[in-house]
Structure 1
């Protein structure tokens, strides 16, 4: 495993701050305006430091709030909210309830051909082209050493591929730039038609993906298998290649109508090459799965992590785009609780001190029900409410809502014959092991405390004097994934974002096998079982096939990759390759490119899970034996979490109208014409 310790790298080269400044202008010549360009690339340390400055943009591959190159939708906050509004983000998907600041892109009603989602990323490409020019020159290669230059060149090719992939996912075809262009045209010399030289044509969808794949394959051929901690290596290239070819295949099949089996074979081969390195292996069980994301030291040696971004506690709130831990938690302090809460069995006194919580991202409990299976009485894995376990222990009853007079509610209640005394034990035992490594749920341990979301519990919303967003859980469950454990949570903390890891690569292969023109379901199940059994502790798939198998795959991807910026893009991709899902069964319908129901909930918002206790929650006997649960609508403005999905707007984004006016060699995506 190789750790990207981006911030430590920058700190180490603090004497060269210009190496890490950002470019706002496509013609910006930084970071080479204070140090002679040739001097940078004649010195191995300076050259590598310059390349490290580009690593930051890899963060969007795993960070749950998306990529940093996105449309400008407001000027608030430290980063103009660009980081908080990212289009390629699971905040636009069905995994979370999100406060409006966390996902303005959920509603596409206002998107027009003039909306800019980050078309102009050419300064990033210019940096890589400068590096490529020098690292392929004999003078630089002789100065820093051919083997060192080759590895650096591999890093730059991978970074360039990553930038192109980010743009291809949004626009399809983009502009291929292989020269270092400046205000006099090509770097080779001046030209009266310099301005025209900058008006490069837009490549097609296939040209863009083929170019991006070629860059990634070049990187794989050049990169070292082993690299210093914090540095891209050969495994990183294979992991990225599996992502690029998978996504590209779905789009090329749908938009260009070509046979894309060769692209799916690239996905399969890239992960076979990754395994052949014999460097990486899946972790086992809930604890190690959780520690990949929440244990700063463990993540650096974890055998599953291929590349990880980490930020240590010396960085403060203004570096929040790399952490956002405060946005996953609720405020806690004894003074915040109502006086009638019995602290003797509901206290939070073992290290949970959150002074800057936002509670803007909270799990959708219906997503938990759907994706985190229970091992049923017959040893098959099923969704809880579809299980024999549920049927044997739960009665569904209609009754008047005691909190909303005159309203009726559908409640799941323990049967008198059930052997369970706590409905929470029934709901959360026998589950996919990743549930315990991803969520804080009723009766679970978190930061050294037992957390109760049930009526009267220490994190139940009604237990707080103030009912502000930051107080108590909005949805009846919280995230623990990525949150460091057994310590106070204050403004600064260590955080970990795996960028490439083996579990994700295995699922890419499973999808490739399912998407071939002649699907290989046996091989797909083999790869799904790798994460399902090793991480989830679920029984292996055996006879499942067809739409059921694809539904299980989509659920497996949620359980495995929750909060890793995958769900939204997976739904787009599979809606083009398999068709949108049936909201009742979850099976792909074969209707390709339509409205994705998980992203189009409109006025059917996230609901809160309420776990009830019988009688008086101030009586410990009643409180410790909750016997029922139901779902109620979250009592916040519905505009906070409406999902509006317009197919012609979502699958490919528009080339900004201003760019079309300035460059006659560009063309608009057909869905936006």
Structure 2
């Protein structure tokens, strides 16, 4: 436990309870982890500080775009194509059993369990402390869910262990659905104890965040168990419908509570969706359930904007993602008369869902604004550069760029942890999986998102057949619900989890392409184009000369879960290795 600048920032800036001057005084005090356990009184202030240490676990711009930036997380998916085919060893199939570590880390679980085992000694009024107890229940759910996604079955620890707890330390893993039941119970506790939105301290976990997370966890497990059923990753005898029902119920509670709504576009519709993702302050946005704030004055910045404004980040949108956006008649490109082809970037966004033109850069778009003057506008994608400056596909990231926040001194663009759009999509998917995807459900969810960008409504009967549906074995409605999720949440870090829970290795083990190459030939690139890998039919093919030329070598009998480190198998003979790993 380290009370670093981020914790001080949470305490001073996010809660508004302590002034900056008082935080400076805290710097002179011992860090929280240096206070002996028997001296903790579990006052409301101590409880808040204890929870603060976990806030950096939320993904965001911090600490850096490549290690945690939300707009780079999709490199581990088929939405982006990173220049390093081995960016995600799990997808590329190149993972090995680590001797230690490898994500099998229980430090945070022990810390939250210590709190939950001892906070009852507090003499403070529960009205002042309950919300922090709720936060800790949320954190135990958060850390267990992270471990579950990586390793599947887990030991369940609900108390802090010591070296004397040999029996517990030698515990075997229990089935993943039992772990999920415990996670959902923790979130029930969190919902009961946390303050409601509007009553909670700003930028702290509240009841809305707990319900949103509960819908995410339950949907993940319900679809995992459904689509991995009968495989080595399935759960024998499990009832996946109870998790789908829980996902729908949690989402509906949040929808009915009226805390949040879809943020309307009130200015230029060409950029309204884009502006959701590049603001410094989201406190007045009705869609934001929880977000992270940065502050240059406190030295709490990130360099994500510089990476996006000054180069392609050695990544780019895949053709597969771009092709998934509908035309403005609500039909897919394979059957719409409005589709204008893909010979140029401009043609590709013509008559298409407006979210597409707000996700990758087009000529004339702003990249860098200095003192109100747009000195740097996008002209050509950085396919001619090398390393981090390169755009791999010709579709260069625009979603998330803040042109006025890339001055080289560090950026303070906010990052989103939970937004209401995800909750609506969780509800729509859970209901569709349950066979209850009625028109009313779609009008409550997906069609609200489409209204924001003036796209036609989705009908429960869909009304068309797309020959390129990614999941032809599923119903038209499920295909379109999944399409909407991909489009609305593109580049926000959801796609990897979606591919894993849907057992979608067929999408992982296929070649990934970029834009048509010919449109860039003869253009004034500096340095000139050189050695651009191109497919036989003329598309930029970033991974052509790598082992992933035919698709990542993902092993569907092994790579849906990570291996346990070998030292843990030696220390605990009751632990068994995950399928396919030796």
List aligned pairs for 1:228-247, cutoff 5 A: 228-247=201-220
Report what 1:24 is aligned to.
Answer: none
- Residues 5 and 310, structure 1, Cα contact 8 Å, conserved in 2: no
The equivalent of 1:264 in structure 2 is: 244
- TM-score, normalising length from structure 1? 0.70
SS at match of 2:557: helix
The residue that corresponds to 1:389 in the other structure is 338
Specify whether residues 655 and 42 from structure 1 end up closer, same or farther in structure 2 by C-alpha distance, changes over 3 A only.
closer
Secondary structure of the structure 2 residue equivalent to 1:214: helix
The residue matched to 2:201 in structure 1 has which SS?
A: coil
What's 2:129 paired with?
149
d(CA) in 2 for partners of 1:294 and 1:131? Answer: 36
Aligned to 2:443: 526
Change (3 A) 1:177 1:16: farther
Poorly superposed stretches of 4+, deviation over 6 Å: 17-21, 450-453, 613-618
Q: In structure 2, what is the equivalent of residue 306 of structure 1?
A: 289
Partner of 1:434: 355
Structure 1 residues 552, 635: closer, same or farther in 2, change over 3 A?
A: closer
The one-character-per-residue Cα deviations of 1:238-280 (angstroms, maximum 9, x if unpaired) are 0010011111112334212433222111111111211232210
Q: For 1:156-178, what per-residue CA distance to the aligned partner results, in whole angstroms no more than 9, with x for missing partners?
A: 00011011111111212212111
Report the Cα offset of residue 367 of structure 1: 1.6
Q: 1:509 aligns with which of 406, 412, 427?
A: 427
Counterparts of residues 267-282 of structure 1 (less than 5 Å): 267-282=247-262
Q: Residue 106 of structure 1: CA displacement?
A: 5.5
CA contact (8 A) 1:249 1:264 kept: yes
Distance in 2 of aligned mates of 1:165 and 1:520: 27
- Show CA shifts across 1:317-338 (max 9, x none): 9x75xx533443434xxxxxxx
Q: TM-score, normalised by structure 2?
A: 0.80
Single out whichever of 525-534 and 224-233 deviates more from structure 2. 525-534
Counterpart Cα distance in 2 of 1:659 and 1:290: 45
Distance (Å, rounded) in 2 between the aligned partners of 1:120 and 1:609: 43
SS in 1 for 2:358: helix
Query: Are residue 209 (structure 1) and residue 158 (structure 2) matched?
Result: no
Q: For the aligned residues, what is the CA RMSD?
A: 3.7
Shift of 1:230: 1.7
Aligned pair 1:553/2:481, yes or no? yes
CA distance 1:491–1:552, change in 2 (3 Å)? farther
The residue number in structure 2 matching 1:499 is 417
Number of aligned residue pairs: 528
Distance (whole Å) between structure 2 residues aligned to residue 476 and residue 39 of structure 1: 58
SS in 2 for 1:507: helix
Structure 1 residue 172 corresponds to structure 2 residue 152: yes
Q: Distance in 2 between matches of 1:616 and 1:176?
A: 59
Change (3 A) 1:315 1:632: farther
Alignment of 1:590-629 (within 5 A): 596-601=505-510, 604-610=511-517, 612=519
* Compared CA separation, residues 210 and 435, structure 1 to 2 (3 A): same
Query: Which residue pairs with 1:283 in the alignment?
Result: 263
Checking the alignment, whether the CA contact within 8 Å between 1:108 and 1:644 is kept in structure 2 is yes
Give the Cα separation in 1 of the matches to 2:92 and 2:543: 23
Q: 629-638 or 440-449: which moved more? A: 629-638
For residues 18 and 363 of structure 1, the distance between their equivalents in structure 2, rounded to whole angstroms, comes to 47
Change (3 A) 1:480 1:204: same
State the Cα distance separating 1:450 from its structure 2 match.
9.6
Give the Cα–Cα distance (whole angstroms) in 2 for the partners of residues 572 and 147 of structure 1.
41
Inter-CA distance 15–121: structure 2 relative to 1 (3 Å threshold): farther
Which one of 643, 647, 650 corresponds to residue 556 of structure 2?
A: 647
* Structure 1 residues 102 and 5: alpha-carbon distance in aligned structure 2, compared to 1, 3 A threshold: farther
Runs (5+) with no aligned partner, structure 1: 22-30, 69-77, 186-193, 332-357, 395-411, 414-422, 581-595, 619-628
Task: Write the deviation string for residues 152-200 of structure 1: whole angstroms up to 9, x where unpaired.
Answer: 11110001101111111121221211112223x3xxxxxxxx4444323
Q: 1:111 to 1:64 in 2, by over 3 A?
A: farther
Distance 1:41 1:433, change over 3 A: farther
Deviation at 1:493, TM superposition (A): 0.8
Which structure 2 segments of 5+ residues have no match? Answer: 13-19, 464-473, 526-536
CA distance in 2, matches of 1:312, 1:533: 33
Q: 1:45 to 1:611 in 2, by over 3 A?
A: farther
Higher Rg of the two aligned structures: 1
Corresponding residue SS for 1:661: helix
Query: Would the alpha carbon gap of residues 537 and 38 (structure 1) be closer, same or farther in structure 2, given more than 3 Å must change?
Result: farther
* 1: CA distance, partners of 2:544 / 2:363: 22
Q: Counterpart of 1:8?
A: 9
* Alpha-carbon shift at residue 524 of structure 1 (Å): 5.1
Counterpart residue number, 1:562 = 490
Decide which structure has greater strand share. Answer: 1
**1:446-525 counterparts in 2 under 5 A?**
446-447=367-368, 449=374, 457-459=379-381, 461=383, 467-471=385-389, 473-516=391-434, 518-522=435-439, 525=442
Q: Which residue of 2 aligns with 1:45?
A: 45
- Matched with 1:585 is none
- Pick from 631, 635, 645 the counterpart of residue 539 of structure 2: 631
Alpha carbons of structure 1 residues 327 and 650: separation in structure 2 relative to 1, 3 Å: farther
CA–CA distance in structure 1, aligned partners of residues 333 and 560 of structure 2:
32
Question: Which of 285, 296, 300 is the equivalent residue of 2:280?
Answer: 296
Q: Label 1:636 to 1:309 Cα distance change in 2 as closer, same or farther (>3 A).
A: farther
Q: Does residue 317 of structure 2 align to residue 363 of structure 1? A: yes
Q: 1:431 to 1:474 in 2, by over 3 A?
A: same
Distance 1:446 1:241 in 2: 37
